Amino acid sequence: MQKPLENILLQIQTLGDPSRSMCVFDLDSTLFDVSPRIQKILDDYSQIPVHQQRFAENVQILQTVKTQKTDWGIKNALLRAGLDSAHPEFFESIRAFWAERFFSNEYLVYDQPFDGAVEFVQKLVQLKTKIVYLSGRDEIRMGLGTRKVLRKWGFPVEGAAEVALKASHGYPDDLFKSEWFAKNAKMFQPVWFFENEPVNIELVRRDHPQVQIIFFDSTHSGKAARPLDLPAIMHFLLDEV
């Protein structure tokens, strides 16, 4: 049976100089379940009087929406509740409300780590591996909230780990990440990369075949097929030996 996490820990323990190894983690939908963030945004939308007046019927339905870990954006959650695209004005209003908040410091605090994520990263720090959080989030809108939510849950930050975000938004995630590896991964061996988005995985594995990628099977954009030949995990819980 494949045990990617246990194998990584074992490999690091056999290294002469573990500080030359590196584990790189994506954040959204890899270390963190973002569905509580989406839920909070939808809840807040439905509490605003002007929305209640303008879209009375839809807002009533919206109050029944429950987001799921497998949701990508807000569309699926709304469709499940019966809010289809027959109401374009409502959809445009809620989409804009969501976009303004999803990519903001303020709402990141609602994210919750996937099972075992905090403990796994802490274990890696004890083993002296370099830890990097590599995310398509940008410093301007999300830098402070990112560090705050990492600290809130006990993920190592400041000194023990590096946060690598885009300087500002608008640049494609896959290029940002591949270029980050080009600049920063040369001095490290082995390098592992945990990522849920197949688009990012495709480019990084093409440009950096030495990077060992672990597919985090949560949810993704659907813009590229999920990798079938990579180790895949759905949580960070370790088998007790």
In the complex with Mg ion, the residue whose CB is nearer, 24 or 59, is 24
In the complex with Mg ion, the residue whose CB is nearer, 28 or 71, is 28
* 111 binds Mg ion per the rule CB under 5 A: no
The contact pattern for Mg ion, residues 171-210, with x = CB under 5 A and - = no contact, is: -------------------------xx-------------
Q: Which stretch binds Mg ion (CB under 5 A): 8-16, 29-37, 82-90, 186-194?
A: 29-37
Start-to-end C-alpha separation, the chain: 14
In the complex with Mg ion, the residue whose CB is nearer, 30 or 146, is 30
Q: What phi, psi does 144 have (nearest 5°)?
A: -65, -45
**Least spacing, CB of residue 103 vs Mg ion, in Å:** 13
Candidates 29, 67, 146, 178; binder of Mg ion (CB under 5 A) is 29
Dihedral in degrees, nearest 10, Cα atoms 170, 220, 25, 145: 60
**Least spacing, CB of residue 198 vs Mg ion, in Å:** 10
The tokens of 230 are what? 């990579």
If binding means CB under 5 A, how many residues of this protein chain bind Mg ion? 6
Dihedral in degrees, nearest 10, Cα atoms 137, 141, 142, 144: 150
Residue 23's nearest CA partner among 184, 147, 143 is 184
Unique residue bearing structure tokens 């672990």: 214
Contact (Cβ atoms closer than 8 angstroms) between residue 15 and residue 21: yes
Tell me the C-alpha distance between 240 and 81, whole Å: 40
Tell me the C-alpha distance between 196 and 43, whole Å: 26
**Least spacing, CB of residue 195 vs Mg ion, in Å:** 7
**Least spacing, CB of residue 31 vs Mg ion, in Å:** 9
**Least spacing, CB of residue 41 vs Mg ion, in Å:** 18
**Least spacing, CB of residue 196 vs Mg ion, in Å:** 5
Q: How many CA atoms lie within 13 A of 110 on its CB side?
A: 19
* 28 binds Mg ion per the rule CB under 5 A: yes
Candidates 26, 111, 173, 174; binder of Mg ion (CB under 5 A) is 26
The contact set with Mg ion (CB under 5 A) reads 26, 28-30, 196-197
